[in-house]
Amino acid sequence: MVVVAAVDRSGRSAHVVSEAASLAAAFDEAVHVVHALTRSEFIDLGLTSAQAEEPKDMDEIRSAAAEMAEDSVSGLDVPYETVGLVGNPADEVIEYADGQDASYIVVSPRRRSRTGKMLFGSVAQSILLNASCPVVSTLADEE
């Protein structure tokens, strides 16, 4: 079993990885640092076939997402691997955690008003409500 650290490209990601590492150390498990590349990130990075000189295959795109996950990792003293996914972040993280029989998923939601959450949704909230394993929600001091 593993502890899944669901990261994005924000400053909260290092905190998520740190919390996941603490859980992994306590239960003698590995950490899988997971980043799901959204459609907008995909387009922003110029990874679409129309924008690239040569079309990118899904393995290259997942590799780019895994590199983004690697940016959140610093000095872990537990076994870990980085994983890149493509698609809706909440759905992809939940599906990945299910496939790995994860012990926990660690997330860090953005601080938003209730209205903001209703209008714009929340990846962390969706994971909290739909994951089949326990979800640890941790707030970072800074964003």
> Domain locations in the chain?
2-137
Task: Supply 101's token pair.
Answer: 């029989």
Spatial neighbors of 135 by CB under 8 A, at least 6 apart, are 104, 105, 106, 107, 127, 128
pTM of the model: 0.85
Q: Report residue 41's pLDDT band, with 50, 70 and 90 as the boundaries.
A: confident
Residue 76 has pLDDT above 60, yes or no: yes
Give the pLDDT band of residue 3 (cuts 50, 70, 90).
very high
User: 2-137 — its CATH code?
Assistant: 3.40.50.620
Quote the Cα angle for 127-132-138, to 5°: 45
Q: Which of 18-22, 36-40, 64-68 has the highest mean pLDDT?
A: 18-22
Which residue from 71, 67, 63 is spatially nearest to 10, judged by alpha carbons?
71
Edge-to-edge strands, sheet with 104-107: 80-86, 30-37, 2-6, 104-107, 135-137
Average pLDDT over residues 73-98: 95
